Amino acid sequence: MKTLTVSVVTPDGPVLEDSFEMVSCKAESGELGILPGHIPLVAPLSISAVRLKGENPQRIAVSGGFLEVRPDKVTILAQSAERPDDIDVKRARAAKERAERRLLAKQDEIDFRRAELALKRALNRIEVVENK
Amino acid sequence: MASLRDIKTRINSTQKTKQITKAMHMVSASKLSKAEDFAKAFNPYSDKIKEVVNSIAGSGQDAEHPMLEHREVKKTAYFVIASDRGLAGPFNSGVLREVYRTIQQRHQSKEEYAVITIGKMARDFFKKREMPVLKEITGLSDQPNFADIKDLTSETIQLFIDGEIDELVIVYNHFISAISQEVTSKKLLPLSELKEESAGTTSSYEYEPNQQEILNVLLPQYAESLIFGAILDSKASEHAARMTAMKSATDNAEDIIDDLSLQYNRARQAEITQEIAEIVGGAAALD
């Protein structure tokens, strides 16, 4: 089976570089599945899990990222990207509760927006760990 | 002439100072190598994001985005990266002097500029001179994570998008080598260099959903990565500067100890000579 090289890089360093058969992820405009030989593409990713399928499948929680596709290579650039093993579940749960409290308290729009994003990030992390 | 005991005390205290500076030198050396590793880990990200941004900006179609737009400059923000601690030679003073001079030259009133500071030294400097400090971070760790500064960078960029500032200049110490750092001042926003640099890019992409949406996501991220890169660069410079400063402090302490030891031995010799002369004089008086 044909494979494509996937590399995930963040400002804190590369997270993963390996070959996989398929990349399945959620872009801002909807779900995307990338197979080898895809045309060059750039798309922003939503806060979500990226699923890498192949011999040893991986799930990665990304936030604030985008995807660059070339026929034989996919690069994911994200402000944060973590494998399930690297996620601090306790911290994610604490962040979730904090964000929920903030959402309940009435606040101006910017804080609301920020809490919403924080909640999304926390939920995403928890989800990735639980569906390992 | 100082007494034997005075000299001895001075030698001891210099010796102790030397021990401290020597330890700090070694600590900085190891922090420097870590900081360099961090900067290296960041490179793949920054290279890639630059490549994609350039290829979009250079794709022929006129990309419109508030961050690319040149406005009439009513307010300039200076993003100043310094450190929390001193003892790093000219590391802090160089940056602060540069910013201060630029502000004095370019602006007449406080309405026209503001500073955003990283590090206690920078914050205190501007607060003391009653200059407007818009945002600040202190106590940043020696190996900062992107998450540590993300809030600051995104707020800064938001200020520009909202039109509260019309220009963002970043001033920091650029790391050249362990013995040489250079104060660098760069105009970060609006992102003007993009279109000029991007002439030679080859790859062309499909954009999902479209170019405009991507720019909305990508440009803030790009600018944030530039700021983060500058911070890492500055951290490496800080450790290098401190290493050099501590090295020369250790060398100076050694020189002083040498001088003092010489003085000490002379004084001791003089005392012995004098004692002998006294004894001889005493013996001669008995005869």
**Same domain (yes/no): A79, A17:** yes
Other CB atoms closer than 10 Å to residue B91's CB: what's the count? 27
Residues A91 and A76 both lie in one domain = no
Question: According to the model, what pLDDT value does residue B17 have?
Answer: 95
pLDDT surpasses 60 at A18:
yes
- Note whether A56 and A20 are same-domain residues: yes
Residue of A nearest to B206 (CA): A41
- Please check whether residues A80 and A93 belong to one and the same domain: no
Q: Which domains does chain B have, with CATH numbers?
A: 26-244 (3.40.1380.10)
Q: Do B206 and A64 touch (CB under 8 A)?
A: no
Comparing B82 with B207, the larger pLDDT belongs to B82
Domain count, chain A: 2
Provide the whole-model pTM: 0.83
* Whether residue A102 sits in one domain with residue A65: no
> How far does CA A78 lie from the centroid of its chain?
8
Together in a domain, A41 and A63: yes
DSSP B191-203: --HHHHHGGG---
Q: Point out the least confidently predicted range of A24-28, B76-80, B199-203.
A: B199-203
Contact A66 B145 (CB under 8 A): no
Place of tokens 């919403």: A116
CA distance to partner chain A, nearest, from residue B217 (Å)? 7
Task: Note the pLDDT of residue A129.
Answer: 81
Q: Which residue has the higher pLDDT, B223 or B67?
A: B223
Model pLDDT for residues B7-65, shown as the tens digit of each residue = 999 999 999 999 999 999 999 999 999 998 888 888 888 888 888 887 777 665 556 77
B202 inside 8 A of chain A by CB: no
Do residues A68 and A120 share a domain?
no
Residue B195: what pLDDT? 56
Please give the residue range of the domain that contains residue A47: 4-84
d(CA A112, CA A108): 6
Print burial letters for A83-116: b (CB count within 10 Å at least 16), e (below 16): bbeebeeeebeebbeebeebeeeeeeeeeeeebe
Do the chains contact at A11 and B204, CB–CB below 8 Å?
no
Q: What ipTM was predicted for this assembly?
A: 0.78
Q: For position A115, which CATH number holds?
A: 1.20.5.440
The answer to whether B210 contacts chain A (CB < 8 Å) is: no
CB contact (8 A) between residue B206 and residue A75: no
Same domain, A127 and A78: no
CATH code of A71's domain:
2.60.15.10
State pLDDT tens for residues B193-231: 665 554 444 557 777 777 777 888 888 888 888 899 999
* Shortest CA distance from B158: residue in chain A: A110
Which pair of tokens denotes residue B41?
């880990």
Q: Give the span between the Cα atoms of A61 and A80, in whole angstroms.
A: 8
Of B153, B162, B155, which Cα lies nearest the Cα of B66? B162
**CB neighbours of residue B189 within 10 Å:** 26
Q: How many CB contacts within 8 angstroms connect chain A with chain B? A: 78
Same domain, A93 and A36: no
Q: Select from B90, B76, B112 the least CA-distant residue to B242.
A: B90
At B262 the pLDDT is 95
* Cβ-defined contact of A10 to B145 (cutoff 8 Å): no
Chain B hits for A80, CB-CB cut-off 8 Å, are: 146-147
